[in-house]
Amino acid sequence: MTTACCPGSFDPVTNGHLDVIERSCRLFDEVIVAVLENPSKRPLFTIEERMDMLREATSHLEPVKVSSFQGLVVEFCRQIGADAIVKGLRAVTDFDYEMQMAQMNARMGTETMFLAANPEYTYLSSSLMRDVVSLGGPIDGLVPDFVLKRLTAKLGK
Ligand code: ADP
């Protein structure tokens, strides 16, 4: 039984995240999507809201379980028995930071696997989605429809 951990803020989940989660399901028996609870950040959506949206968006994916964690991702991986962290790499801008994290996490005992982002979604980030909606722009096709509704309810004009 192989287990992947896909960590992130998911504030909110985008089609780019979902692409990485779906592809992880083809590689691992179990995929734990782990929402980071970071007390030093002020997210738009609460941890419960972010987990609810992820559960709804992944309900068709049998291997997926949605969870949350605080602190070191390697510690969480140890608790759930994850074999690897799986992350999406969008562009060179992600590379430096992700490389540093992956090397540190390998030193602490958990390997990271990178999936090259789907070119359709390379430019997507949760923060860009929040910014565009708050300025009244269209993001349909970039997040699930129910996520767009929730974003518009929080931020929309
Ligand atoms: P962001 O707020 O930048 O979307 P998250 O912390 O929620 O970032 O992202 C969690 C993981 O999902 C990271 O590994 C990130 O590289 C990956 N990811 C985010 N957006 C995309 C995308 N559009 N395509 C592929 N992977 C992505």
The per-residue pLDDT for range 43-66, each reduced to its tens digit, is 999 999 999 999 999 999 999 999
> How far is residue 69's CA from residue 142's CA, in Å, rounded to a whole number?
26
Q: Please tell me what DSSP assigns to residue 88.
A: E
Out of 18, 90, 100, give the residue to mutate to test ligand 1, the one with the largest number of ligand atoms within 8 Å of its CB.
90
Task: Give me ligand 1 centre to Cα 136, in Å.
Answer: 23
Residues in contact with ligand 1 (CB, 6 Å cut-off):
8-10, 14, 16-17, 20, 87-88, 90, 94, 117, 121, 124-127
Class of domain 3-123: alpha beta
Distance 125 CA to ligand 1 centre (A): 6
* Integer Cα distance of 19 and 22 in angstroms: 5
Report the candidate in 139, 96, 142 with the shortest Cα–Cα distance to residue 118.
142
User: Which residues carry out catalysis?
Assistant: 17, 41, 90, 126
Kindly give the distance from the C-alpha atom of residue 1 to the centroid of ligand 1, in angstroms, as a whole number: 26
Mean pLDDT of the chain: 96
What are the residue ranges spanned by the domains of the chain?
Answer: 3-123
Please state, for a pLDDT cut of 90, what percent of the chain lies above it. 94
pLDDT by residue (tens digit) across 65-119? 999 999 999 999 999 999 999 999 998 888 999 999 999 999 999 999 999 999 9
CA dihedral 45, 89, 101, 41 (to 10 degrees): -20
Cβ contact 155:45 at 8 Å: no
Helices (H), the chain: 15-27, 47-57, 73-80, 92-107, 126-134, 145-155
pLDDT in tens, 22-33: 999 999 999 999
Mean per-residue pLDDT, 127-154: 96
**pLDDT above 80 (res 157):** no
Asked if residues 19 and 88 have their Cβ atoms less than 8 Å apart, the reply is: yes
Between CA 51 and CA 54 the distance in angstroms is 5
